[in-house]
Amino acid sequence: MNRRKLVVGNWKMNGMRAHLDEVEAIGRVAAAHPDVEVGLCLPATLIMAGSERRGAAFIGAQNCHMDISGAYTGSLSADMLAEAGATWVITGHSERREARGETNADIAAKSVAAHKAGINVILCVGETLAVRDAGRAEQVVADQLLASLPEGAAADWLAVAYEPIWAIGTGRIPTMEAVATMHAALRKALASRIGAEADKMRILYGGSMNGDNAADLMALADVDGGLVGGASLSAAKFAPIIEAADQRMKAAA
């Protein structure tokens, strides 16, 4: 199936109002490649301003709370994020699983809350180097996905992002064969839970994708785009990834 490529930048804790020119520039790149769905998950402080300058790119958030409101100092609900202009949100990013102790149940609940607020979800899963070296990567990550998958998961509002944790920000990536094997395992796990809907769901690669490796990664059968970190902070570095996705869409048409 020729699923529409999805390329999303995760700015993490980077970006001030002075960087909104890059948001605008990335929006222009997105407009030049309409076959690719392009977005930026910005710090919460930039979501509203970014939404006003996003062009053809969507604006997303990097996290949300699972409750609508309450005594949760420092947290933001999905409704708040939607009101600010976010149309997507990342849940289950490894940095929150690892550093904030978020559980699979937490992540499923956040994803449900986002969906109820009308926000699409990028659900992240991935393995540590210890798990990879133990030869258990596919099983561990597939189990993590199924335990994090929200009720009613469907391709029209949810995408999955595979993050080899040990590759994020390091410049290291698994072999293309290892990426292909993991993405196929995730597709199979999804099919066991949601049946034929799994073939429609986009599975993104999220480990140090850049302009040099994007074309090879996008050519893999079950890689439907990327969740991009540092290379998404500027239009100059992000554009080649978007272009690689567009070329792959055209080649598969």
Residue ranges at the known binding site for substrate: 10-12, 169, 208, 229-230
209 contacts 231 by C-beta, under 8 angstroms = yes
Rounded-to-integer distance, Cα 21 and Cα 11, Å:
14
At 96, list the tokens: 């929150």
| Contact indicator for 64, 77 with CB cutoff of 8 Å | yes
Do 223 and 209 form a contact (C-beta atoms < 8 A)? no
Clarify whether 93 is annotated catalytic: yes
Q: Determine the number of helices (DSSP H) and then strands (DSSP E) in the chain.
A: 10, 8
Cα–Cα distance measured from residue 160 to residue 186, given in angstroms and rounded to the nearest whole number = 9
Residues 11 and 40 sit within 8 Å (Cβ to Cβ): yes
The answer for residues whose C-beta is within 8 angstroms of residue 13's C-beta and 6 or more apart is: 43
Catalytic residue among 22, 33, 65, 93: 93
Q: Is 40 within 8 Å of 50 (Cβ atoms)?
A: yes
Q: Which residues are annotated as a binding site?
A: 10-12, 169, 208, 229-230
* Active-site option among 33, 163, 183, 243: 163
Point out the residues that are catalytic: 93, 163
